[in-house]
Structure 1
Amino acid sequence: MSTQRLARAAGLSLLAALASAPVRAQQTPPSPPGPVLTLEQAVARARENNPDMQAQRNDTRSTQAAIRNARADFLPSASVNAGFGYTASGVQRFGSEVFGERPQYYDSDWRVGLSYDVSGAKLLQPRLARSQHQAAESRIAGYEADLVMQVQQQYLTVLQAGELAAQAQREVDRTREHERLANARLEVGSGTPLDVRRAQVERGRAEVSVVQQQNTYETELLRLGLLMGVDLPAGTRLESAFQLFEPTWNGDDLVRMALEANPGLNAARANTGAAQTQVRAARSAYLPTLNFQVGLAGSVYSAGNIDPLVDQQLSGLQNAFASCNEGNTIRTAVGLTPSNCSQLDVNDPVVRAAVRSQVAAGNPSFPFGYERQPLRASMSISLPLFDGLSRERRIEEARVQADDAQLAVRAQEQRLTRDVRTGLLNAQTAYRTAELQRQVAANAAEELRMARERFRLGAANSIEVTDAQTRLSEAERAVIDAVYMYHKSLAALEALVGRSLR
């Protein structure tokens, strides 16, 4: 009996030594540290590189172009025109009148003009363009605030996944220690193979959980990179720290801040301003429109063949020559000196040559022998009286849009008030939950310590230890979930308020 007692005492001493010895878990060598990423860096890179954010910012380019266009519309418009034409030869007719054979003609012209319009719509266009630009900027600010919240939430999700992976690794270390104690008890004869197998099963489950949690961490890190619009290098470490503190804000104060600074609400208000400006622009259709124009022009009309024109001139001279001879006969009969008709004799080659030269000199050169026309200026005023109630329809449509925008602002204010108060309650509940879960985890850790001590002394079996380990693991995961639920609810509350609360 004394020999058995000595053996049992020696075995218990061995178990005590094993329990106090440090655990040497078989772990892979630590990988070299990767780049550090803080929350501020993640938010800044998301604002700069997120494709959807960049697409939203592109909207301001069109609104800025609209502002420039509205301002430049107060300058007169200028135009320069040039044209070229051809008319074939033939008999020219105008109704029942026949003007005889006409040669082919080549024509060209140019025109330079300035035009200026003044209307009520033009006067209001810069204001409308600015209001639409402000609405676009407010909408982009709201989208950016939503993107920042998504990045914050995903950053917290990655940290949470990392914490869960670390907790799973701690669970592996605990199961390995329990397996080592079970083997030690089996070696000294105070344990059973069933205890060892049960410990091995728990260790296997814990290792599977490590693999799964590590995969979750890597997946969530990739999602964070997607929000940031970049590819995060392998081994990227998140180092921003978040403190757990009790939210003691007043709900009315948070609502007041949210009504002043919430980006989405400000965007809705900007849309209301743009809609009201659109109503005034629609009413301007009742105002008159003034138009001022001034222009210079030049043209050339050149015959391709001057023979028909020469023949027309010679025919006229021949008739004049006959009339001149008849007149000379009468003048001679009455004793007057006859007129000189030789200059009208078409049979004289000199006369014919002179006629051709005169026609050729009067035929301008194509295409740049322009003859400038006199300056022309005009002013007109128009006042629409009736257009089938189109103006009334446009005004009513603009009013409806303005009323809808105001109602949207009112509805968003009500939703924002409810969401802020709900978010504060969620943050307070999450804080209390995290504190209680910490107490539960502390009790579970003490329970596991006592169960191990009982198992080491042979007063408990491995089932009691594995149950305690399971409860501690669940409690630790609950603490992690509760803490990060608090931080996520606080980030959502900050997004509603429109400013940082930390």
Structure 2
Amino acid sequence: MSTSILARRAGLMALSLAAITAPAAAQQPAPAGPGLTMEQAVAAARENNPDMQATRNDAVASRAAVRAARADFLPSANASAGFGYTASGVQRFGSEVFGERPEYYSSNWNVGLSYDLSGAKLLQPRIARAQEQATTTRIAGYEANLEMQVRQQYLTALQAGEVAAQAQREVERTREHERLANAKLEVGSGTPLDVRRAQVERGRAEATLVQQQNTYETELLRLGLLMGVDLPQGTPLSSRFELFEPRWTADDLVRMALENNPNLLTARANTTAAQTQVRAARSAYLPSLSFQVGMTGSVYSAGDINPLVQQQLSGMQGAYASCNENNALRAAVGLSTTNCAVFDTSDPAVQDAVRRQVEAGNPNFPFGYERQPLQASMSISLPLFDGLSRERRIQEARVAESDARLAVTAQEQRLRSDVRGGLLSLQTAYRTAALQREVAANAAEELRMARERFRLGAATSLEVTDAQTRLAEAERAVIDAVYTYHKSLAALEALVSRSLR
């Protein structure tokens, strides 16, 4: 054998050994930024998710309803004040004319207390507390559902990252095969067809890698949307999970779910609230009491007292004439006379006295109030017939209660079925993952043997590419099986509302 042939074969063997011993996966640069764990993602979603925050706002309204129901047992107090104006003019009442009246300014105030008591008011605090409890459990259920969505999406993104890493390993394997095919072509033991076939496989692997990297970034965006934050591109997910054989019994898991599942607790709280609504509807047959007490004050002041003075003087003129006539009669019969000077309106002193009297009787505006006597009243009302409206409301409340009870029953049945089915899915996923790992190990050994045969010239490049394809499919099947297990476990944890890891 010539020296040149030996040299070429030695070079080919060196290249082949270098290709076989090359690392299976390229080392990718670590993404910038700290890693994100699943618990950190869940905590961020609880804090920042807009829908979660909007749901929590319902608790504020329910607590306010409880406080208002309790405060409704206190009496209601009110105070009011008013001001008025009446222009001057002739006052008429129907066909009666009362003469010229001056302009008037008026003001008034009122202070009162009222208290109402009924059967509905007595039950309102209980209704409000039941509704608050229903709201609290509903918020807890929404939070549990959000947590499950975040965990599932975290696992989906983590799975996409694993698939992208597998695609990167596949690219490196195809590149190694391409280098080996080129090396064999250079030493004369290979063919251009082997090189082209290797290049085709490498191109397919690179296209798959680009698609899987895009899928990973898309799943990260969806995770950030659930968290209510913007995740930086390439954020690493640092949580890792191990497979373990599920050893729980279905009965134990069902018991935990019936005790802790937030959706079931919400349905039970709705039933309690519906029962309270039935009692509230029945309270319409009870009597109601009403108490009122109040004080008022008012002022009615003339803007111009001259018309009032003139009216007073006109009346005194008639009294002056009558007094003089009476004195003449008394003098004729020898009786003593009275002093008519006090009615003489021509006397300025009398005019001044009348003006002072009118001024004193005209209250000051706006605060010259005259308080009215205290007023108090009590009434009792007993509903007799309202066109069967009470009966309709009671029946509606009973139907709502029955619907709530049936919803609890349906939720319990669904929960039992979901828990048992979830456990079966988890057990199946565990066994599938173990089998897929065996398949992947055999596929890796097949690829190693195919490469060795190709290096020695005992196999074509087609055998190598077929082995690479089968290994890639087996690795993706392992990833799918493993994450199907973890997702099934997360779904089961959501049903029983506790950690099972």
- TM band (smaller chain): over 0.9
- Does 2:16 align with 1:19? yes
Tell me the residue number matched to 2:221. 222
Offset of 1:218 from its aligned partner? 1.2
Aligned residue runs from structure 1 range 81-160, under 5 A:
81-160=80-159
CA 1:159 to 1:459, structure 2 compared with 1: closer, same or farther past 3 Å? same
Query: 2: distance between equivalents of 1:499 and 1:27?
Result: 39
Tell me the residue number matched to 1:300. 299
CA 1:32 to 1:305, structure 2 compared with 1: closer, same or farther past 3 Å? closer
Tell me the residue number matched to 2:165. 166
3-state DSSP of counterpart to 1:36:
coil
Larger CA deviation: 172-181 vs 474-483 = 172-181
Larger CA deviation: 112-121 vs 148-157 = 112-121
* 8 A Cα contact 2:76 2:115, kept in partner: yes
Offset of 1:66 from its aligned partner? 1.0
* 8 A Cα contact 2:26 2:169, kept in partner: no
Larger CA deviation: 300-309 vs 22-31 = 22-31
In structure 1, the gaps of 5 or more residues are none
* 8 A Cα contact 2:31 2:235, kept in partner: no
* 8 A Cα contact 1:81 1:111, kept in partner: yes
3-state DSSP of counterpart to 2:233:
coil
Offset of 1:308 from its aligned partner? 2.5
Aligned residue runs from structure 1 range 38-53, under 5 A:
38-53=37-52
- Does 2:28 align with 1:34? no
Offset of 1:324 from its aligned partner? 2.1
CA 1:105 to 1:442, structure 2 compared with 1: closer, same or farther past 3 Å? same
Tell me the residue number matched to 2:484. 485
Query: 2: distance between equivalents of 1:446 and 1:362?
Result: 119
Give the counterpart letter for 2:459 in structure 1: A
* 8 A Cα contact 1:106 1:302, kept in partner: yes
* 8 A Cα contact 1:34 1:234, kept in partner: no
* 8 A Cα contact 2:115 2:290, kept in partner: yes
CA 1:158 to 1:29, structure 2 compared with 1: closer, same or farther past 3 Å? closer
Aligned residue runs from structure 1 range 75-474, under 5 A:
75-474=74-473
Give the counterpart letter for 2:13 in structure 1: A
* 8 A Cα contact 2:443 2:467, kept in partner: yes
Q: CA offsets, 1:173-222, max 9 Å, x none?
A: 11112112212222222211111111111111111111111111111111
* 8 A Cα contact 1:50 1:227, kept in partner: yes
3-state DSSP of counterpart to 1:112:
strand
Q: CA offsets, 1:354-379, max 9 Å, x none?
A: 11211111111212211122222222
* 8 A Cα contact 1:35 1:235, kept in partner: no
Query: 2: distance between equivalents of 1:31 and 1:452?
Result: 31
Q: CA offsets, 1:128-183, max 9 Å, x none?
A: 11111111111111111111111111111111111111111111111112112212
Give the counterpart letter for 2:426 in structure 1: A
Q: Percent of aligned pairs with the same residue? A: 77
Larger CA deviation: 295-304 vs 381-390 = 381-390
Give the counterpart letter for 1:432 in structure 2: R
CA 1:116 to 1:147, structure 2 compared with 1: closer, same or farther past 3 Å? same
- With normalisation by structure 2, the TM-score equals 0.95
CA 1:412 to 1:24, structure 2 compared with 1: closer, same or farther past 3 Å? closer
CA 1:25 to 1:127, structure 2 compared with 1: closer, same or farther past 3 Å? closer
Q: CA offsets, 1:332-372, max 9 Å, x none?
A: 23222112222122222221221121111111121221112
Give the counterpart letter for 1:17 in structure 2: A
The alignment of Structure 1 onto Structure 2 pairs a total of residues equal to 499
Query: 2: distance between equivalents of 1:48 and 1:410?
Result: 33
* 8 A Cα contact 1:86 1:107, kept in partner: yes
* 8 A Cα contact 2:31 2:236, kept in partner: no
Q: CA offsets, 1:303-338, max 9 Å, x none?
A: 122223222222322222233223222322322211
CA 1:436 to 1:231, structure 2 compared with 1: closer, same or farther past 3 Å? same
Query: 2: distance between equivalents of 1:7 and 1:135?
Result: 88
Give the counterpart letter for 1:379 in structure 2: M
* 8 A Cα contact 1:120 1:288, kept in partner: yes
In structure 2, the gaps of 5 or more residues are none
* 8 A Cα contact 1:35 1:233, kept in partner: no
Larger CA deviation: 268-277 vs 345-354 = 345-354
Query: 2: distance between equivalents of 1:152 and 1:26?
Result: 28
Offset of 1:243 from its aligned partner? 0.8
* 8 A Cα contact 2:25 2:169, kept in partner: no
Query: 2: distance between equivalents of 1:161 and 1:120?
Result: 61
Give the counterpart letter for 2:448 in structure 1: R
Give the counterpart letter for 2:46 in structure 1: R
3-state DSSP of counterpart to 1:244:
coil
Query: 2: distance between equivalents of 1:226 and 1:26?
Result: 31
Q: CA offsets, 1:263-309, max 9 Å, x none?
A: 11111111111111111112222222222222221111111222232
Give the counterpart letter for 2:133 in structure 1: Q
Offset of 1:234 from its aligned partner? 3.2
Query: 2: distance between equivalents of 1:168 and 1:388?
Result: 75
Query: 2: distance between equivalents of 1:200 and 1:26?
Result: 18
Give the counterpart letter for 2:445 in structure 1: E
